[in-house]
């Protein structure tokens, strides 16, 4: 599966514990990444500053569902189930 252009769910729903440029403590779940554009595209895509966790994310129907709302719901649920 390819990422849905303009989705951005993976840049909003999960927490990111590693530093992100401009977000030295990462970001909490449910908060937009500072680098997510108004049209939900990653401003760090392809850049060396992009966190490893972001570069490692692979779109999958089980995680991304059928649309953006599904993806935010599923990723948010996974975040809650795996939170320490």
Tell me the pLDDT tens digit for each residue of 7-29.
999 999 999 999 999 999 999 99
pLDDT for res 82 = 86
Helices (H), 1-84: 52-56, 61-64, 68-82
pLDDT above 90 (res 83)? no
- Per-residue pLDDT of 51-74, as tens digits, reads 999 999 999 999 999 999 999 999
Q: Where are the domains of the chain?
A: 9-82
Q: What is the dihedral of CA 79, 80, 82, 83, to 10 degrees?
A: 100
Please answer whether residues 32 and 19 qualify as being in contact, where contact means their C-beta atoms are separated by less than 8 angstroms.
Answer: no
Which pTM value belongs to this model?
0.88
| C-alpha closest to that of 10 among 46, 37, 40 | 40
pLDDT above 90 (res 84)? no
């Amino acid at each position: 599966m390819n990422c849905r252009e303009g989705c951005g769910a993976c840049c909003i729903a999960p927490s990111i514990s590693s530093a992100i440029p401009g977000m030295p403590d990462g970001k909490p779940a449910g908060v937009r990444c500072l680098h997510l554009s108004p049209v939900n595209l990653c401003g760090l895509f392809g850049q060396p500053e992009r966190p490893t966790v972001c570069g490692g994310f692979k779109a999958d129907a089980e995680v991304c569902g059928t649309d953006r709302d599904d993806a935010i719901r599923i990723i948010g649920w996974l975040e809650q189930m795996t939170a320490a």
